[in-house]
Structure 1
Amino acid sequence: MAVEWVYSPTRIDWVVLSELYKLAPLGDKDPNDLKTAFGNSRYFCFAFDAGKLVGAGRALADGVDCSYICDVAVLPSHQGMGIGKTIISKLVEFSSGHRKIILYTAPGNESFYRRLGFKRMRAAMAIFADARQALDWGLLYED
């Protein structure tokens, strides 16, 4: 497999990216919302196999203090091949120079990110638009 790496969203089909997130599974993300989210991000990494989008990720960053890596997804058919690791590694490389690089993950994936140099934070807080879903997915603690 020869993966083509792309670092710009200019040729992304947002409907195809939305489908990738459904299959990964990272939830149901509207194509127009993805276009807006990626359009407001600073760094991007897309993986293509034979012209097919198989992986994606982005980072919101301010250029100095904080870079937040988010929306990293790989098609199930391409998981376990190092694509997710490469996406994260590239986004970390792009984010070098920031005082901190942050991400959050679904419960159970912590060891993957630990191998890539991430450490567990002692305190993080969030407000989710759909708090019930975030609780169901194990992203929030019930107080």
Structure 2
Amino acid sequence: MSQGIRLAFDSEGVDWAEAASIFERAPLGTREPDKFERTCRNSDLVCFAWDGDVLVGLARALSDGEVQSVIYDLCTLPEYQGRGLGTRIMEAMMEKLGTPNVVLWSVPGKEGFYARLGFKPMLTAMARMEDPEASAARGYIRL
């Protein structure tokens, strides 16, 4: 279980190279540490999961604070997956966001995790991607 893990909603003490490495170890791709730091600092809400002084998970969100929020980058180390930590982070994020509508991007194959939290597939979502071919190859969009 994830009980001994502390959730923090600020980036104090985050080693951004360590944070970026969680994505590779998860495995959810790569993040450039400096760019990821700026991304988090420009987000409306961040959540970092700490097991003692070890960063083990994270997520971030954008929100208008009233109606709509988008959660991005939910990620935990592989050895912490399947222990309730992702659920705990998601529930804490949604509570803090407090908006009635929350959308997110699921990694292909992880849709069931989000369905258990009440998320439904969207039928009309559209995306304009930097590299559409790569996004299609990873299962995020259809060309």
Q: TM-score, normalised by structure 2?
A: 0.93
Equivalent runs, 1:39-78 vs 2, <5 Å: 39-78=41-80
Aligned counterpart, 1:127: 128
Aligned counterpart, 1:11: 13
2:112 aligned with 1:114? no
CA distance in 1, matches of 2:104, 2:76: 16
CA distance in 2, matches of 1:116, 1:7: 21
Q: How many angstroms does 1:50 deviate by?
A: 2.7
Question: Does the 8 Å contact 2:67/2:101 carry over to 1?
Answer: yes
CA distance in 2, matches of 1:133, 1:17: 23
Q: TM-score, normalised by structure 1?
A: 0.93
Amino acid corresponding to residue 127 of structure 2 in structure 1: A
Please provide the CA RMSD for this pair.
Answer: 1.2
CA distance in 1, matches of 2:131, 2:11: 27
Q: Percent identity?
A: 35
Give runs of ≥4 in structure 1 deviating > 6 Å: none
Instruction: Extract unaligned runs of 5+ from structure 2.
Output: none
Q: How many angstroms does 1:99 deviate by?
A: 3.9
3-state secondary structure, aligned to 1:90: helix
